[in-house]
Chains A and B, each alone.
Chain A
Amino acid sequence: MKVCSLEFILALILLSAIFPLLRRLRVRQVVFTLANVGFVYSHLHNTQSLVATTIFTLYGYAAAKLLSRRPRPGIFWAYLMGLLLSFVILKNYAFLRVVVGPAGLVSSVQIVGLSYMLFRQIHVVVDSMQQQIPALTFVGYFNYQMNLFALLSGPIQRYPDFDATWSSVSPANLSRHQVLMAYMRVFAGVIKIAALGALAQWVAQDATSYIDAVHAGNEAYDRWAIIGNFLLLYYLFPMYVYLNFAGHCDIVIAGGRLVGLNLPENFRQPYIARNMIDFWNRWHRTLSFFIRDYLFTPMYKALVSRWPRHASVVPAVCYFLALWLAGVWHGSTWNFAVFGLLHGLGVFAAKTWEQRLVSARGRKGLKRYLESRTIRVAAILVNVHFVCLTFLAFHPGVLRYWAIVKTFLGALIPGHIAPR
């Protein structure tokens, strides 16, 4: 069930109508739990998937409880290795095909929302180990993990924020204006996904098919048609990705609001970012903050404490590794490794450039640089074009990605001969 489907919207209307009528906390919790169970069940492919989902959920809860009582690094690292190994196997990462061969892949088991469950689980376990979640209950944890509004594609909410509404929420006593605004946002989300996003996707796919056909020699070579189609693909595909994801967030954030849940915002005008670090502060913000808090910060602290002499190099290295891993997390195929690599290089370059500016001009010089309107506009233009280039890697197949770029570059050269 997709969040912009008629079934989901109707279920949302029903839930939002029922919730304000339920005055007792326990009753609301039971209704919300049943809604979550029903949502997860509708996505289960088979019994194996049900078993895997149950084990994955219990594993996190058991680890959180154990580590809150016995916060030993050895237990934590053993837990984390087990978690990451099961994640890689369940996601069928492409490199597994190289390591164990196609026969070793587990293709029949699928856990819906696995990528997001992974991050939420790590957050709960780490915070439990550090005594930051004092009263974790299984029912609270289950509903946090299976929250139908955040299960499929986030936002990645922190457990204490979820628990604040889960265990002490009053009914969603929204004013008529707030209810109307929430429904308006749901409607805007549907328009973004089903109309604007779908249109951008359709045009981008059409352009991709044309370039593919030229590359395969099935279409007459026309350099201006190639350039035109590439530019359509180049600008509209990132637009589609944004509209689809932002529309999803509009629906789930506003839908959550209607039943009293306050999910965090996930976007802040990402395409006007001035560099890739700024981009990740604007794009999929809850993922960025998770990466910052649970990956970048511990990695940076560990490296800089161990090698303080290399403190100037460590940030860029950590930025690169964190963003590369974030890219790999996006999908199990090689193209996402390329996506992560490009984003890792992007943030590496942004950090290195900033450090160079500070070295050459001092912090006050950096401030003047950041305040320059001309530089800001130029930086945004450069960055948005780099982002568009990286989003082409969302297309499956690394070779196809390269073929698209190569065909376009060939068309830029007058007199270039069509590839055979």
Chain B
Amino acid sequence: MNELRNTFQGIMREVFDDDDIVVSDSTTAEDVLGWDSLMHINLIIAIENHYSIKFATAEIAGLQEDGQNVGTFLQLVANKLK
């Protein structure tokens, strides 16, 4: 999971063009400057391309609901990579 988190952080830094981003499982969209719904989709596209996976519409929407964080995002990615 640590490796996944580090890769995720690297992708986030690239997508948000910000090398100062540091994420943990409890990081939410509100903690990252500029993580709005558009950047969320950019992040999804980057993750999909990096891991060659595909998120369903409901999964992308679910990740934007209240209470979601990097931890739930990573768990979803991990489940798809199994």
Contacts and interface: CB of A to CB of B under 8 A. Distances in A.
B57 interface: yes
Nearest to A293: B61
Contact of B18 (A132, A293, A363): A363
A366 B17 CA distance: 14
Interface string A246-266: 000000000000000000000
Given A300-B41, A301-B41, A130 B57 contact: yes
B33 A363 contact: yes
Contact of A297 (B17, B18, B34, B57): B57
Interface in A117-133: 126-127, 130-132
B34 A366 contact: yes
Interface residues of A, number: 24
Given A158-B58, A367-B33, 14 more contacts: A127-B56, A130-B57, A132-B57, A158-B61, A292-B37, A293-B60, A293-B61, A297-B60, A301-B41, A363-B16, A363-B18, A363-B33, A366-B33, A366-B34
Contact of B58 (A130, A300, A358, A366): A130
Interface of A: 126-127, 130-132, 158, 160, 289, 292-294, 297-298, 300-301, 304-305, 315, 351, 358, 363-364, 366-367
B38 A315 contact: yes
Interface of B: 16-18, 33-34, 37-38, 41-42, 44-45, 56-61
Nearest to A126: B57
A132 B59 contact: yes
A304 B45 contact: yes
Contacts of B37: 292
B2 to A, nearest CB: 27
Contact of B57 (A294, A366, A367): A294
B61 A289 contact: yes
B57 A293 contact: yes
A304 B49 CA distance: 13
Nearest to A281: B37
Contacts of A160: 58
Contacts of A351: 38
A351 B18 CA distance: 20
Given A130-B58, A289-B61, A298-B57, A363 B34 contact: yes
Contacts of A293: 57-58, 60-61
Contacts of B17: 363
B31 to A, nearest CB: 13
A304 B18 CA distance: 21
Nearest to B56: A130
A160 B61 CA distance: 13
